[in-house]
């Protein structure tokens, strides 16, 4: 199921980006996870999204406390490898943000167990 949408507001008008998902895949290296996602391309009203600026990956060993983060200030990047993960079950989300600094709600949480 698609994740939450991004809502941008200038104080008078609201604009909402369509939902997007995150995928966590295993990699050959123990202690790393590769995340990938499809960038949102339009607002919820169907108008083109023109000011996507990047993403923030948040992660941690508790799904309700994702305190580590990796900013990606390039909207053209749609995957990232998180390395140096200790043995544990790790949880990940990705949020998108616009050039005006409005950030989406996080994606649905993905997870990977590192052994």
Q: What is the DSSP string of 74-107?
A: -TT--EEEE--PPSEEEEEEEEEEETT--BPPPP
* Residues 8-48 pLDDT 10s: 656 666 666 666 677 776 655 568 999 999 888 776 667 77
Contact 59, 69 (CB under 8 A): yes
How close are the terminal C-alpha atoms of the chain, in Å? 28
1: confidence class by pLDDT, cuts 50, 70, 90: very low
* Burial status of residue 57 (CB atoms within 10 A of its CB: 0-12, 13-18, 19 or more): buried
* Residues 84-109 pLDDT 10s: 999 999 999 998 888 988 787 788 89
16 vs 52: which has the higher pLDDT = 52
Q: What is the pLDDT of residue 75?
A: 93
* Residues 57-90 pLDDT 10s: 999 999 999 999 999 999 999 999 999 999 999 9
What residues contact 70, with CB distance under 8 A and at least 6 apart? 56, 57, 59, 80, 82
Whole-prediction pTM: 0.74
């Amino acid at each position: 199921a698609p994740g939450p949408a991004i809502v941008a507001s200038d104080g008078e008008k609201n604009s909402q980006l369509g939902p997007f998902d995150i995928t966590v895949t295993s990699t050959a290296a123990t202690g790393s996870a590769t995340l990938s996602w499809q960038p949102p391309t339009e607002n919820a009203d169907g108008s083109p999204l023109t000011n996507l600026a990047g993403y923030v990956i948040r992660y941690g060993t508790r799904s309700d406390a994702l305190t580590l983060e990796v900013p990606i200030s390039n909207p053209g990047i749609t995957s990232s490898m998180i390395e140096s993960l200790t043995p544990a079950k790790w949880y990940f989300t990705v949020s998108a943000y616009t050039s005006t600094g409005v950030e989406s709600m996080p994606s649905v949480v993905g997870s990977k167990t590192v052994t």
